[in-house]
Amino acid sequence: MQEQLERAAALLARARRVTVLTGAGVSTDSGIPDFRGPQGVWTRNPEAERLSSYQAYRDDPEVRRESWRQRAAHPVWSARPGPAHEALVALERSGRLRALLTQNIDELHQAAGSAPERVVELHGTVHRTRCLSCGALAPMSEALDRVAAGEEDPPCPDCGGILKSATISFGQALDLDVLRRAQDAAQDCDVLLVVGSSLGVHPAAGLVDVAAAAGADVVIVNAEPTPYDDVATVVLRGGAGELLPRILGGG
C-alpha cells in the first residue's frame, strides 16, 4: 500500500488539472449510509432500490408518502463534512482542481467549502424540491415543514403537481448541461481522482473511460473493488477520510 500511496501522491502532485468524481463513500464518515457497501441502503433493503425509481414515485402515492417520511428522518440534515470533503477543498485551494463531479445529493462538498461553481451535482440535490409538473424549484425545508405539520405528500404550491426532491432517480435522465460539463471536465484533466464510488451507475461511471481515453491517469480510492480498477493507474483500497489527506498533501 505504501508504494501505491506514493505513486498516487506523485501523480497528483505533478497534475496541473485534477478532476474529481465522488460517490457515497465520501459521506459515510459523515453518518450518511452509502447504497452498495456492506451497510448500504440497497444492500440492507433491495426492495428500497426498486421503490426509488422515478416511475414508482410518480405513480404510487404510498411510495411518495414513504419517501417523505424517509426524507424527514434522513441523516443528511445533521451531517457535517468530513476529512475527505476537507481534503478536496485543499486541492481546490491549491489551484489544481478542474472540477468536482459528485454523485452525492447531500451538498457536503459545498458545506466543506468547495466552490459551488466547481461542484457538478450529477444526481442533483436533496436540499431542494422540484415539481414534476411545472418544474418549480424550492427549498426542501419548506416542504419538510409542511410534512411536519401533517401533510403526508405535499403538492406543489404553485400548480398542485407532485413534488419530488431535485434529485435524479432511476428512470430519470440527467440534466444534459450537467452531463456535458462533467464530460468536458473528464476530458480536460491530467488526473481523474475517483473517491468512494462503486462505479456501477451510468453515465457517471462512464466518465472514467472518458478521462482514460483522453489520456488522463485514473486514481481510484475506494473501500471495495470497482469494475474500473483495471483501468486505473493506481487503486488505493481503504477509507477516503484517511487516504485523501495523505495523497493530496494535507496529511
Classify 116 as helix, strand or coil: helix
- Cα-Cα-Cα-Cα torsion 68, 70, 72, 75, nearest 10 degrees, comes to -150
Please report, for residues 28, 32, 43, 46, 192, the alpha-carbon distance to residue 39 in angstroms, rounded to integers and kept in the order given.
10, 11, 6, 12, 27
Which residues, 101 to 120, sit near ligand APR by CB under 6 A?
Answer: 103
Residue 40 binds ligand APR (CB under 6 A): yes
123 is catalytic: yes
Residue 37 binds ligand APR (CB under 6 A): yes
Q: Is the CB of 29 or the CB of 92 nearer to ligand APR?
A: 29
* C-alpha cell, 166: 431535485
Q: Is the CB of 24 or the CB of 156 nearer to ligand APR?
A: 24
| Set 74, 123, 127, 202: catalytic member | 123
Tell me the H-state helices in 188-249: 206-213, 240-247
Residue nearest to ligand APR (CB): 25
Q: Is the CB of 185 or the CB of 236 nearer to ligand APR?
A: 236
Residue 240 binds ligand APR (CB under 6 A): yes
Q: What minimum distance in Å lies between the beta carbon of 85 and ligand APR?
A: 11
Considering only CA atoms, which of 221, 217, 247, 216 is closest in space to residue 235?
Answer: 221
* C-alpha cell, 172: 430519470
Residue 251 binds ligand APR (CB under 6 A): no
CA angle 199/204/205 to nearest 5° reads 35
Q: How many residues bind ligand APR (CB under 6 A)?
A: 23
Distance CA 80, CA 78 (A): 7
Residue 21 binds ligand APR (CB under 6 A): no
State the pairing for strand pair 124-131/163-167: antiparallel
Q: What minimum distance in Å lies between the beta carbon of 239 and ligand APR?
A: 4
How many distinct helices (H) and strands (E) make up the chain?
A: 11, 9
Residue 31 binds ligand APR (CB under 6 A): no
Q: Contact letters (x/-) for ligand APR, 192-211, by CB under 6 A?
A: ----xxx-xx----------
Q: What minimum distance in Å lies between the beta carbon of 16 and ligand APR?
A: 26
Q: Which residues bind ligand APR (CB under 6 A)?
A: 23-25, 28-29, 34-37, 40, 103, 123, 196-198, 200-201, 222-224, 239-241
